[in-house]
Structure 1
Amino acid sequence: MFLSEEADQFELPVHETGFTREELEELLSLLESNEPVGPNSGSEGSTGAVSSLEPNEPVSPNYGSEGSTRAVYSADERKKRRMESNRESARRSRWRKRMHLENVTDEINRLSIENRQLKNRVSSVMNQYHIVWRENEQLRSESVALWAKLSDLYWTLATMQPR
C-alpha cells in the first residue's frame, strides 16, 4: 500500500509528533485498512468515545479537522497515552538537562583553562615589567652619575681655560 511504503521510506520523528512509534504504526494501519472506524470499533473491552455519527455510519480518517489522523480512544486509553506521553516528555527533559549540564561543565573547563592561561600571561608580563623597571632605574642612576661627571668635566675645563 502507498502509506506503508511512505512509512518505510521516511523515519517519522516521534519526539516531534508526540506519538510513540507504536501509536504511529497503529494510526497508519487504521488509515490503510478499509474498515470503518466508529465508536464500537477497536479493541475488545474498550468503551469507545461518544460520537455524533449514526451507529452504522463509517468514520473517515479525516473525520474532525481536515488532515487529522487522531483515533478515538476511551478514557482509560487516553489516560494511558497521557502517562506514556508524560514519561516520554520527562525522559526528554532529563536528556536536555543532562546535555545542558554537560555543556555547562565543558564551558567551565574551557573557561578554567583560558583563565589559567591568562593568569600565566599576566604573571609573565608582570615579571617582564619588573625586569624592565629595574633596568630603567639602573639606567636613570647611571644617567645621573654621567651628568654629574660631565658637569665636573665642564667645571674643570672652565677653570683651566685662561680668561
Structure 2
Amino acid sequence: MFLSQEADQFQLPVNETGFTREELEELLSFLKSNEPVSPNSGSEGSTRAVYSPDERKKRRMKSNRESARRSRWRKRMHLENITDEVNRLSVENQQLKNRLSTVINQYHIVWRENEQLRSESEALWAKLLDLYWTLATMQSR
C-alpha cells in the first residue's frame, strides 16, 4: 500500500457524497434544530449562514482541495489494485508455463515410447509372418 505524509491529513468522506466534514456537520445541525428548512435559498426564514464572497471562495477552494486529495487517493488505490493484479497474474502465468512445459516433456516421452512400441510391433509381425511361411512350407512337403 502506498502511504505518504498526505495520507495522515486525509479525511475520508462519510458516505462518498463529496461533502466535506464541515458541510455534513452543517447539514446535521439543520436536521437537529427542529426548525423547518425552507426550500428557497433566500434569507427569509433561513437559518443558513451568509458567507462573504471571500469566505465562499475559501470554502470552495478547501472543498476542491479535499476532493482532489480524495481523487488522488482513489487513483493510488486503483493503481495499487491493478499492480497487485498484474503481480498475481504474472505468478499464475509462470505456473501455467511450468505446467505446460511439464506436459510437453511428458508428451515427448510418451510419443518416443509409442514410436518404439510401434517399431517392435512391426518387427514382431514380420517375424510372425516368417514363421507362418516357414510352417506352411514345412506342412506342404
Shorter-chain TM-score tier: 0.7 to 0.9
Whole-angstrom distance in 2 between the partners of 1:143 and 1:83: 88
Deviation, 1:72, is 2.6
Measure the CA separation in 2 of the matches of 1:123 and 1:106. 26
Are 1:14 and 1:21, in contact at CA under 8 Å, matched by a contact in 2?
A: no
Q: Per-residue deviation at 1:13?
A: 2.1
The answer to whether the Cα contact below 8 Å between 2:37 and 2:47 also exists between their aligned partners in 1 is yes
Inter-partner Cα distance in structure 2 for 1:135 and 1:141: 10
Q: Does the CA-based 8 Å contact 1:61-1:69 persist in structure 2?
A: yes
Q: How does 1:1-163 map to 2 (within 5 A)?
A: 13=14, 15-18=16-19, 20-26=20-26, 28=29, 32=33, 61-62=37-38, 64=40, 70-162=48-140
Change in CA separation of 1:106 and 1:115 when aligned onto 2, cut-off 3 Å? same
Give the Cα separation in 2 of the matches to 1:69 and 1:147: 106
Q: Distance in 2 between matches of 1:131 and 1:69?
A: 86
Which structure 1 segments of 5+ residues have no match?
Answer: 1-11, 35-59
- Size of the aligned set, in residue pairs, is 124
Instruction: State the TM-score, normalizing by the size of structure 1.
Output: 0.65
Change (3 A) 1:70 1:140: farther
Question: Relative to 1, partners in 2 of residues 1:17 and 1:130: Cα closer, same or farther, differing over 3 Å?
Answer: closer
Q: Percent identity?
A: 76
Q: After the TM superposition, which segments of 4 or more aligned residues of structure 1 sit over 4 Å from their partners?
A: none
Extract unaligned runs of 5+ from structure 2. 1-12
Q: 1:17 to 1:72 in 2, by over 3 A?
A: farther
CA distance in 2, matches of 1:17, 1:155: 97
Higher relative contact order by CA 8 Å / sep ≥ 6: 1 or 2? 2
Distance 1:150 1:70, change over 3 A: farther
Q: For each residue in 1:15-37, what CA deviation from the matched residue of structure 2 results, as whole angstroms up to 9, or x when unmatched?
A: 5252x3334445628x74x9xxx
* 2:10 corresponding residue in structure 1: none
